[in-house]
Structure 1
């Protein structure tokens, strides 16, 4: 009879109809028969009227039970469909879920209004047609990175919220939005298997919005967590958005998508896609090369477009680029970082129809010079025989010309000591990022313990062979452990040498992906590493968890460079030496300089936490010194104190409280002001996919899923897909019936009472 109830939980109230019956039965049990002299005359009279009295009492009882049951049903608000037997008695009403796309692309301006403003105008027109007093309800959902549901309510309440909405800078999450819609429809179905909720999505028909409905997810994208809901894991699983649409289709719900976007398939738009560095700047006066990539999303060429870049508020000379249709171009900028630390970058284009992607903020880190402690196990006045002479030359500051003051950068701060100096009380190994043991013959136990503690806390240790390192067994005993507890990443076996005039060895293979050797991966630079002679090396047996980065071309493919993680630090084994008698690499600056620079930069790098995030994403900040009175300042000048207590990490750095999505809603440059210290910059950058305004063709949208229906901007539906029918409620008729029962009960009860008094 009924298809369902608006308030199904209140249907249980109909059980209260049994209360009058229980009262009647309890009253009967309270009377005990008592015989007396004239009882036989009363019984004789009662037997004549018993049948009529019972019927009168039963009718009165049924009226009272009917009043309670009808009132309970009235509150539960049952409804029937258009084809139901009681359809003529119903009062039609609608439950609508209205989804408004508030992603960054909706800020595209066409004529005098943006796409978002056009959608709000349509939402207002649609809501004004709903009838709150009749029982129409609306759920307004703002679709962004995290969809916001504003709750079921009267259409007038939703109308009041419309003027307060504005487009964000986030990428819309269709899967998460459909998940909320599905939860609403399942609640509406309440076990009936069907829902009459009407779902409308007001958007710009951007292809990226519906990308999650195409094909299958890769293994890394197939696990999506949405409010406790987990997508099926594994390569090739169905996208979560499609799973939600499948379930909506099972409930009989169709999602009507209204197109409010611009007319062209590829709307004209320029955007800054990325801001990145070409090099790894280190130390004071480091030269930084920055590439700003600009994309043309339209079908017309854009010649001589001006691109500007500001560094820490200082504007660099403007660059011009020619951008082909649907293509990209890069603008190159260069500046000198006077001091190490975070550098705040802001790239800009001249404004166009979508202003949010004409600016892009970035933060790059210029770390201080890497401190290198070089322990020379074979000092000599002869450069060719000195254990670290060529190494120290490679670590010298880069210069731009002759004479003082022409230093371009100083990425390394190297200090040379003798092995005995490791025992000096004035030496603090915590001051050094990289420690090089070059041909050190022996180390006292105290020095080994100090080195172990420093590497475990995050430093890198490089072992290099040398002419004075003859006791390999003793070195293994002090520094190698088969269980991985020692500092050496491989067991030293024996030294192998050949005459410089005879056969020599070369690098046969190396890990081209490793940062220390990736420079030589290019074909033009590869011979600098693979063709240089090596005359002596030490055979070794690496541990299982060690990584061999380079091997020689001897019969055993002996390791040349081995790397292994050691707690928070890293250890390396260089099985040859930095002395020229061992290898010509030492005296070949074209090989030694890039090898040493890339190697030491990688070994001395510290895992810096990212200072960039997407809008409305959480972001943390890690500082080297204790932050006093931190204050967040947003791009619009507003801010708040970061009152949460900073937490010190194991490496000695301090982590500030994580910025919440509400803190990072705006794209641009942020800063954390500190008492007694320079401000620390952060960057919130738009997802580049929001700049891709290419629109999905109507036929393609209709073919994505049977539960999707395309509608025009005025709400007219295209195609032959059904729309959720208007369902009718019976609560007014039930209320009238309850009132009629109540009146009948009162009249009938009064009549019975009056007649029985007269009879008595």
Structure 2
């Protein structure tokens, strides 16, 4: 316990005032004349003054009242667990609050989101006089407060935001830095802070997407100071045990029945000790269809599998749920939602641009082998096309309507006359995967398909070479970007560590294209890059999928990589990855007119097309089953899931705060004077009632 205004203790000297008032507050004696007094002679008066305290109970009430008021004015606080580094000079500050789903984790009944309110109060209390403070959250739709000298504005906004149960997306704490910097820049134009210093105080948890995602600076002149929502930066608190559904997917099981599907997945147990039994439920169309018991090891996975017979031709809503987890400290990640259907084949056409009788050098041998061994093999129907066959089909007016995903493997370049038809087919919803190699002509690709490429091609490069040097080196593959939809649900490394690549294709940087890097080389160069194009999607691999440039196809991670890329490129099937999106991810809907979206909570949202042939649903924060009606067109179904990466609450050490200039450490402070004020008000009421009673006696 400490005092923010210790000098107010001088007010205790005022405790003598009630005592003095009670000693001097005697009633004046009344003179009573009677006849016998006239026979007494005059003499000197003997004055006897005796002081004694009158109304002892009333005096005690007044002394206690004055004592409580003085203590309340000293503003006593208790120190919390979190410690924050605060600049010791006046400055402009923005509080950046983590709004992601992982902040719902509760410790001792208090969620990290609620604890962040106390951490923010600690910063506001410790800011030097003359500072200005603003507020943003990682949620783009969260509260935003401009910089101002009154911290109560920010405190009230945070309290209102926490009480309103904010929507929980999958934002990293780092993703909110641009908005914080913009707020500081905007406030600094024309009215800089007293000292011209600017700081971002980022409040979050110890996860890899929380404090560990923060860089040391938000800009060249704006340091980022991490603040733990709960605990201390140098001593993270233990993570309470909780359960989550890691994954759930399905494939047709026609060997059992034409309408049978096999549903499999995994349960993850975070923390704990020993083994724990769990019940997993399969719910089909709202009814419990099956139940299976699994045993989850400490901090590990437990696999499950269901076989369901009865999936019709049309999509049927289904969910996999964990049962009997009412006390889980991170509620909301115990279910995964699916759409089941008896017919869900994905037609994949692979164009081999460099066939060879030697399997190790055949362009598509490893890819075909990987897809045959994948878990989605029963759903995939793979067809091989020669380059001239592809050209012939497109020239004859066949728009590849029966192809869901087209793979161009080391193809020199599509012919100039068929390129427009290929672009139209991708814009209409077909997925396109391009892998490079010795035969690829960058100029021809850029000229004919540049409109849909994630980035324009430059030229191939032998890794590690430089002018004047002949020796070549190899380059590895970095861990995948787990925030990319291709790797939705992946935990940790994909299985590509140790990959060695000798040649890669360089790309032309162009931020305006909106391309996303899913996989990079250790040098930072893109290895797998993607981009939406119209209703379809495009993925570009900047090395080969045979042994000519890389040993990538020999790695154990090549099979899940190929499966994930093809599933993400397929946008037309409810069982595919394209039918599963993360909460908060916009859903693009192919439509020529208004569409109606039926949400899991019973709402009907009417969306007009934002541009020709496409409507966009952005309100996807509620997990569950969504159905889209589009006039006379076939209804569209998709499911929204919690990002499983948000359930990974393992402590990851953040970067230490960057100390620049005069800084002081301020403890997270919890005000304790409010109860004193309430108790003083109660004593004042008691003192009033007691005086009224004495007056009436």
TM norm structure 1: 0.41
Please give the TM-score of this superposition, normalised by the length of structure 2: 0.45
